Structure 1
Amino acid sequence: MIPTWLHLLSIVAVATGLLCAVLIAADEWRDPQHMWIMNVVWPASALYAGPLALWGYRRWGKLASHRAMQEAERRNEPMPSMASPFAVKVGKGATHCGSGCALGDLCAEWIAFAIPTVAVWFGWHSLFAEKMFAVWILDYILAFGFGIAFQYFTIKPMRGLSPAEGLWQAVKADTLSLTAWQIGMYGFMAIAHFWIFAGLFGAEVEVASFEFWFAMQIAMLCGFMTAYPVNWWLVKRGIKEAM
């Protein structure tokens, strides 16, 4: 049985993530990001990182807004975000990948919950006794789709590439990063499913619960940690754009 303290903590964590996402989106409505895809990345990041994403947006994200860009152009200066420390640029690149993972996982989990047959299509009962493993396949497919799309709309305009070239470069830039992110996320969700919820509390947590999404928030932060060194390497090698 899930203890009351964990249930309440889960509600607070999920609500805080939603609130931070709304606050960021409202600020972007008034002063959009210079690169439009970042208007999606920052709120999506807040869904799992909450106050951390809000702080990062206020501290570093605002440096890449339309207003900041216009003021820099007026003073004939480079865009303020370009002066960010390399570690911050790598972090933004990782969250860029993570936002695609977050949206893909969000869609996949609810689709499989609403239509259980979908999990059967991906191997539940035939390949996997656990539904979670089958859903992870759908998770990865949708996360990959969102991640490549996000990367495409970053790399193509920054490098002035053709659509085909932009798509290929997006695949090169995001495949390793996204896979590293999913490994971290899957790792924690397995720990949460088998050890924390089932082992410690003797409970099975469904998608339609605050506890599941609280665990997913932590899992996404684990994904950030496994994806960060990969993004460092990708940016250093010039495979992925510094942001």
Structure 2
Amino acid sequence: MDMDMDMMNTSPAWWTPAAWIYLLACVISAALLSYEIYGRRQPQQVPAMKPVWPISALFLGPLTLLLYARWGRAHRQNDTAPRPAKMTWLLMALLPGAAASTVAHLIGVPLVFGAGWTIAGEALWAVALFILILATVMLFVFEAAAAAGQRVSRPVGLFLGAFMTVLAFDVGMVGWMLYLHSGGLMQPITHVVFTAQMQIGMLLGMLTALPIAGWLTPKSVMAGASTPT
């Protein structure tokens, strides 16, 4: 308890209200996208991306609404909007990995800390390993579904691509967590500021995964995303 209080004393007072505001914006964005995709059954350019958009909103917030409006919906035949460019494919390669890591994080953090699992005496390493394994499996399943019926990489290639993407994501995410931990800035996992800190980690993870996602795009997501449905 004293350790938690000491950590809280090292954080600026404005972190708490800012974290609540952003968390609320993220939840509302995720709810709106869920209603748009599942409630209204809005046609998607990439059907496999349906669950990815609401999950992405949990850390990208309202920005996801803009990305979805531009690149998520299937355009009508008479729509004058330009055909999606390579940025679309890059986004489709990047968001699924980030979404998989987000879900793995939501499961892994309370599970690992609650069970008291550690590696080399640190729960942080156990969390990182758990997220790497679970997120890789989820991303592989997504890419296999997105590539169904397409002549893309074989299962081994898809799995290695998923592993490399999640590993690159973890460079930013875990690096951020190490920075917070070493600086005494990481908040208790039950505090809203911890949630905001992890959302920042998701964004940093997307940046470190960007080169790998760009390299893998032609082999995985592009084939499944090139034809609007």
TM range (shorter): 0.7 to 0.9
Distance 1:191 1:42 in 2: 29
Distance 1:107 1:54 in 2: 25
Residue pair 1:91, 1:228 contacting (<8 A) in 2 also: no
Task: Identify unmatched segments of 5+ residues in structure 1.
Answer: none
Distance 1:61 1:107 in 2: 26
What residue number does 2:100 align with?
100
Match status 1:48 vs 2:59: yes
What residue number does 2:6 align with?
none
Which one has a larger percent helix, Structure 1 or Structure 2? Answer: 1
The 1:107–1:157 alpha-carbon spacing in structure 2 relative to 1, beyond 3 Å, is farther
Distance 1:112 1:6 in 2: 25
Residue pair 1:184, 1:223 contacting (<8 A) in 2 also: yes
Match status 1:181 vs 2:169: yes
Q: CA deviation at 1:222?
A: 0.6
**Mapping of residues 53-68 of structure 1, within 5 Å:** 53-63=64-74, 68=75
What residue number does 2:187 align with?
205
Aligned residues: 211
Task: Identify unmatched segments of 5+ residues in structure 2.
Answer: 1-8
What residue number does 2:145 align with?
153
Match status 1:14 vs 2:23: yes
Which residue identity does 2:140 align to in structure 1? I
* Equivalent position SS for 2:189: coil
The 1:145–1:160 alpha-carbon spacing in structure 2 relative to 1, beyond 3 Å, is closer
What residue number does 2:201 align with?
219
The 1:85–1:36 alpha-carbon spacing in structure 2 relative to 1, beyond 3 Å, is closer
* Equivalent position SS for 1:156: coil
TM-score normalised according to structure 1 size: 0.78
* Equivalent position SS for 1:98: helix
Which residue identity does 2:48 align to in structure 1? I
Deviant stretches of 4+, over 4 Å: none
TM-score normalised according to structure 2 size: 0.83
Q: CA deviation at 1:137?
A: 1.2
